[in-house]
Structure formats: C-alpha cells, structure tokens
Amino acid sequence: MRTRVKKEAITIALTGNPNSGKTTIFNNLTGTRQHVGNWPGVTVEKKMGTVFHNGHRLQVVDLPGTYSLTAYSIEEIVARRFLVDSKPDVVVDIVDASNLERNLYLATQLIEMGVKLILALNMADVAEARGHEIDAESLGTLLGVPVVFTIGTKNQGMKELLDKVLEVVEDRDTVSRHIHISYGHELEKEIKKIQDVIWRDPSVGERFSTRWLAVKLLENDSAVQERVRSFGEIGKQTLAQAEASRERLGEFYKDDAEMVLTDQRYGFIGGALKEVLKVSAKSKLDLSRQVDLFLTNRILGFPVFIFFIWAMFQLTFTVGAYPMEWIDAGVSWLGAVVSALLPAGLLQDLLVDGIIAGVGSVIIFLPNILILFFCIAVFEDTGYLARAAFIMDRVMHVIGLHGKSFIPLLMGFGCNAPAIMATRTLESERDRLLSILINPLISCSARLPVYILLAGTFFGASAGNVIFSIYALGIALAITMGKLFSVTLFRGDIAPFVMELPPYRAPTLRSLLIHMWDRSQIFLRKMSGVILVGSILVWVLSSFPRSPYLPRGQAVERGTTSATQERLLTLAESQQPVSPLMSEDNLKNLDLNNEMTRLEGSFLGRLGHLVQPIFAPLGFDWRTSVAVLTGFVAKEIVVSTLGVLYAAGADVNEESEALRRSLRASGMTPLGAYTLMAFVLIYIPCLATVAVIRRETNSWKWTGFSIGYSLVLAWMVSFLIYQGGRIIGLG
Ligand code: GDP
Ligand code: MG
C-alpha cells in the first residue's frame, strides 16, 4: 500500500439527481464537519465537509441535485461551473439504483465531460426489494467507471466508496477508462468538424474536453457558447461551424440536435441496462402504485390532500402551543432575573426590553417552525409532496406558477419566513422569485391578534366573517399580483420541468430530523442576528430622548419597547409600591399618562407625527401610524403598541375590554378599523421575513422591491377601502 499523502486535500464532488440520497451520504461521510454557505452570486446552497480516510484529508462538496447538465436551471449551471472550473479530483455520482434508466442520464453527461467518475449505486436496498438485480461489475466495465453499492440510510458502503475514491485519485483502479458515447454517424461527423475547428488553437484544445464543448454547442447551450465566444477568433469560427452543423442536422433529422442527442443518450443507457439489469418476473403487486392511484385520484386526491394539510396545521399550532408557552415563560423569567440582578437604568432596559423581549418574541415561534418543518420533511421524504404538487398544478397555472409553488404559499398561513425558505424546493429561479414576492400576502398567524382585536371591537357578532374576508383579500391579492408579475416582470421564461413522481419510501427518523434541522437552523441563526438589531433599534427609538420631567427609578419609565408594553405594565402593577394617597387605579392611570407623554416625545412618537400625513388619507392618526411602524418588526407588536398608545390599561391583549372601549372612544370607526386591518395584511409582514427574503433572493434589489411594492399596494388598497367606504357612507 502506498502511503503518499497529498499535501492539499483531495476534492470530491457529489452529484446526482434530486432525491437520490446525496445529502444522506454527504452527512454520513462528513458528520459534523460541515460548512454551509451559498454558491457565489446565487441562492443555491453550498455544502462542504471534510472526511479523513487512510491518512488523507478529503474535502467533500455537495453539488445541487440535477437531472442533467444543460444550462436550463441555476442548479445545473452551478454544478457544471464547479466541475469545469474547480476541477474536483473525483466526482461521485449518486445514483438511485432502483431507477437506473433516468439516473444514468446525468452519468452520461459526466462521462462526456471527462471527469474522474465513480458511480455510487445508492438505494441498493430499494432496488433489491423491487427485484432489480444489477451486475455492477459489467456496468462499470461498460461505462468505464468504477461502481460501488451504497445504502445511505444504513450507512453502508461508505468505506468502500472512500477506498474507491483514493484508488481513482491515485490511478490505481483498473476499471476507469475514457469512453465515448456514440451518437451515430451523422452526429459524430458534425462533432468532429467542430472539434477540428477548436483544435486550430491547441491552447484551447488542451484546456477543455473538445468533444464536450462540441456536443454542448450542438445542444445550443448558451453558457458554453458564451465561453467559446471568449476564445477570440477561434471562438467565432467554432460558433459559426456549430451553427452550420446544427442547421445540417436539423434538416437531416427533421428535429433539433439536442433532441437527437438526448434520444441517443437514452439509447446508450437502454443498451447498457439490457446487459446488466435483470428485473425478476415475480415483481410483486406494486403497492406503491396502488397507493398512488388513490392519492392522486382525480376526485379523491384533492380532499385527501386538504385533510393532510389541515392535519399539519393542527399539529403545528396545537402541539406547538405547549413548548411555545414554556419558552414564553422562560423568556419572561430571564427578563425578571436580569431585571433583579441589574440596577434599574439604561443597561437593564436595553437587555430586558430591547434584547430579551425582542429576540424572545421570535424564538417562541421555534416550536411551530420545527413541527411544521418536520411535517414537511415527512411529506417530502415519503414522496407525497411531489403528488401534492401534481394535484395543485392546474390551479397554480392560473397565476403562472407550477403546482410545486403551492406548498410554500400554503405554509405562509403559518409563518411567511419558513414559507419563503421552502421555495428552495422549486427548481426554477423564476418560480422561486415569484413565489417569494407573493408569499407575504398570505396572512400569517402573527397577524391574527390584530384582526381579533379590531374586528372584535368594531364588528361584534360579524367579526368572524370580517376576519375571513381579510384572509380572502390576501389570497385574492396574491393571485392578482402573481398574475401581474408573471406577465410583466417574469415574462417568457417559464422553464418547463419534469414533475417526477418518486416512489413512496418509508423515511427514517434520522433523515427527517436532519431535514427538519437543516431548515430550522437557518431560521435561528440568521433570524437572531436581524431580530437582535431590529429590537435594539426599536428600543432606542422609543427610549430616547429620555424625558426630563419623569423621575428616574419609577416603574413606568422602565421598558419602553412597545413589544413589551404588556409585560411592562403588568410588572409595573405588581412591583410599584402603592402610595397610600392614591388608589391603585389612579396610580396606573398616572403611570400610563406619563408613559404616553413620554412615548409621544420619543423618537418613535415624533416619527409617528412625522409620517402621519402619509397615512392621513387612510384615516390613521399618529398613534396608528406608530403602531404600523413598530409592526414592521413583527405584526404582533401592532397590538401592544395600540394598547400603550390608546392608554387602555394594564391588560393589553386582543381580549382586553378596556382597550376596546378606548379604541371606540378614540374616534376610530369600523371603516377605519377595517382599513387598518387591510394595511396590516398587505405591508411587509416582519423583519424576519425581510431577512429571509434577502437571504433567499440573495439580492437587496428584490428585497427592496418586495418591501416597496407591498407598501405601495397596502397604501393603495387601504386608500380605496377608506375613501370608497366614505363615499358610500360607511365611515
Ligand atoms: P438528495 O435529494 O439527493 O440530497 O437526497 P436525500 O439524501 O435527501 O435522500 C432522499 C430520501 O431518500 C431520504 O428520505 C433518505 O432517507 C432516503 N434515502 C437515502 N439513501 C437511501 C437508501 O440507500 N435507501 C433508502 N431506502 N432510502 C434512502
Ligand atoms: Mg439534498
């Protein structure tokens, strides 16, 4: 055995179709030694990890899952760019062994690129259960690629895989050889012509696989054309030759060259499989197929789907409510402890009312998010999600989206932040952006307290219908904007994609938890940063300038963050020593009056007065304007801000009768309340959502657009409601 240890790490790139088990194997290999980032310039996640094997340090890169290596989707472009430019030492193509024909298509392209390749026939267990008998040795010989069986979920075959990697890197294996996929006489003739032109400049010919370039040019691949153009004079000649060849082939086959190439590749795969794959005749009555017929049934499919979704939300919100309470209690406890430990003053305020309360108000959503993502992982890993997309496909086409985009929209009713993260399951960048842009219009659960307060106060018995109409308004706007964006901003680039139906699989708990954690982690890590900064900002705005006329050390001038008014007032109530001269009620009123005056003089209050003219046509006074501003951090805050500003009393929540009375007394009308609800529905949901949009679009431009359009839309719709209502005599 050779013990030569390479100085730099060996780079292994994992490729494979989506759902072939890439991530599972990546996790098996690298364990916790992982690093997650983004590929430069795009939102596709880049996962890297390290594994040590026989004294070698191996760097594993999880490339995006793709079916092919054309330049259709961003994933394909990313994967290909890495293979061509970074030249990994070896590429491991993870293949679903139970679905060889389709999975080997990618392999043919990798072979063509001339990379050092290993095939991992994953899901070997599934293949066996289906009665597929694969002659791996012959397959390897035919393709000129070493083949290893693996079972990702059982951590089997990993050592063999790594052994093989080292063999291939060190040129010790006997199977590897470079084969050509033969495309038949006519195509080969044209490929040769193009190659000859490229070779006129040997410096280019030596850097790239000319056969691969030629084939890609015949496929009319824009990214390769671009690159060839950069070769200068030779590039121009090459492109001219490619154009001529395509034309000739088009005439000959009466079809596009890329179609012919695809057919030939499948022909090649079909031929290979004939020799190496045996499917036993007793391939039992296919249970998966029976289940499928039921779940995607034209009539039954839809209600069954709705039931699953309903069950998911039930689970998310009922089960999630318990840990939510615990966390809430924990956050309050922490706030109380810190208050007790630190002397009253700025630092205590900042910690308790700014940081603990602000970040705490986001962390309490973690249980819901974990549960929601767990359910989605179950749907995804069992293969059901693909069916759901199928069922909704026709409906979604109305707004220019594929069925798959339905899932993130649906999740938006829970919380827009993870819903927007879920757009990652969409293959096309266009669909992803479009879904991200309309997602905030789906009314999340954080907005419900605002509706409950306002509708309950002003609409009495018909509050339920009013709230329902707000939800409906959100859906109608999402559809309208989706349609509008798809005919304006995203015209003409609807990338067709195969909606594949993966076989049903029983997922392992481990893979479910990994998938759940993968997503939730992002939520925690990224959100805490933004929320932290946002909370501090609101705290600063509402705490400064300090009022000169309020004696320090009084309970009322402790916390001033509107988010924590509720707790503050309760605390004030319990901690304030009751003066014998004042009834408890009077004291509370005095405190609140002080607090109101102080808040009106704070930067936040001044800001409210400053922006009020903008909101005047919608019937908002300065207090409502402030609530709308603080609601930017999180919609729940609208309720507590209104509570403080309308001086309702200590008990500020959507049930509070006192707050209701003062709201009614303040001159707000049912029409004004409805207008406010509509505004709260439409403008950007919260800071967390903004952060997620920024992360998922990887662009400040789209983030700005999303904020801007929702504000403008919110204003316009509210204006129409308010002024229209007044014209017909409602307000
Ligand atoms: P990726 O999309 O390629 O990253 O695929 P994942 O690693 O997410 O795997 C998709 C699903 O297949 C998960 O539910 C895995 O638990 C499951 N899976 C992965 N490898 C195997 C395997 O060898 N056998 C079986 N039965 N399931 C597997
Ligand atoms: Mg994956």
Q: Is the pLDDT of residue 87 over 80?
A: yes
202-206, 539-543, 666-670: range with highest mean pLDDT: 666-670
Could you tell which of 15, 17, 153 is best to mutate to test the pocket of ligand 1, judged by most ligand atoms within 8 Å of the CB? 153
CA distance 724 to 678: 14
Q: How confident is the model at residue 510 (pLDDT cuts 50, 70, 90)?
A: confident
154: CA distance to ligand 2 center in Å?
17
Considering every ligand atom shown, identify the ligand nearest to the alpha carbon of residue 15 and give its number. Answer: 1
DSSP strand pairing (277-279 vs 132-134): antiparallel
633: CA distance to ligand 2 center in Å?
32
Q: Is the pLDDT of residue 324 over 70?
A: yes
Least confident of 284-288, 540-544, 683-687: 284-288
Nearest to 445 by CA among 380, 357, 535, 372: 372
Name residues whose C-beta falls within 8 Å of residue 206's C-beta, 6 or more positions apart in sequence: none
Does the Cβ of 503 fall within 6 Å of ligand 1? no
Considering every ligand atom shown, identify the ligand nearest to the alpha carbon of residue 380 and give its number. Answer: 1
Does the Cβ of 558 fall within 6 Å of ligand 1? no
Q: How confident is the model at residue 702 (pLDDT cuts 50, 70, 90)?
A: very high
Does the Cβ of 23 fall within 6 Å of ligand 1? yes
| % of the chain exceeding 90 in pLDDT | 31
Mean pLDDT of the chain: 81
Quick one: average pLDDT of 420-425?
82
For the chain, residues classed under CATH 3.40.50.300 are 10-169
43: CA distance to ligand 2 center in Å?
15
pLDDT in tens, 105-161: 999 999 998 899 999 999 999 998 888 899 999 999 989 999 999 999 999 999 999
395: CA distance to ligand 1 center in Å?
30
Regarding pTM above 0.85, the answer is: no
Least confident of 167-176, 209-218, 220-229, 516-525: 516-525
DSSP strand pairing (10-16 vs 90-96): parallel
Does the Cβ of 126 fall within 6 Å of ligand 1? yes
CA distance 334 to 323: 16
Quick one: average pLDDT of 27-45?
78
Does the Cβ of 625 fall within 6 Å of ligand 1? no
Does the Cβ of 125 fall within 6 Å of ligand 1? yes
pLDDT in tens, 366-402: 787 788 778 878 887 787 877 777 777 767 877 788 7
Does the Cβ of 507 fall within 6 Å of ligand 1? yes
Q: Is the pLDDT of residue 239 over 60?
A: yes
Q: Is 390 helix (H, G, I), strand (E, B) or coil?
A: helix
Instruction: Please return the burial class of 694, using the count of CB atoms within 10 Å of its CB with bins 0-12, 13-18 and 19+.
Output: middle
Phi, psi torsion values for 538, nearest 5 degrees: -60, -40
Does the Cβ of 393 fall within 6 Å of ligand 1? no
Considering every ligand atom shown, identify the ligand nearest to the alpha carbon of residue 18 and give its number. Answer: 1
- Nearest-CA residue for ligand 1 atom 12 is 21
- Domain 10-169 -> CATH class: alpha beta
In single-letter form, the type of residue at position 335 comes to G
Q: Is the pLDDT of residue 570 over 60?
A: no
| % of the chain exceeding 70 in pLDDT | 83
Name residues whose C-beta falls within 8 Å of residue 605's C-beta, 6 or more positions apart in sequence: 542, 599, 622, 626
Which tokens is 654 given?
Answer: 């959507």
Q: What is the DSSP letter of 9?
A: P
Higher pLDDT pick, 69 / 599 = 69
Nearest to 370 by CA among 320, 435, 305: 320
Does the Cβ of 385 fall within 6 Å of ligand 1? no
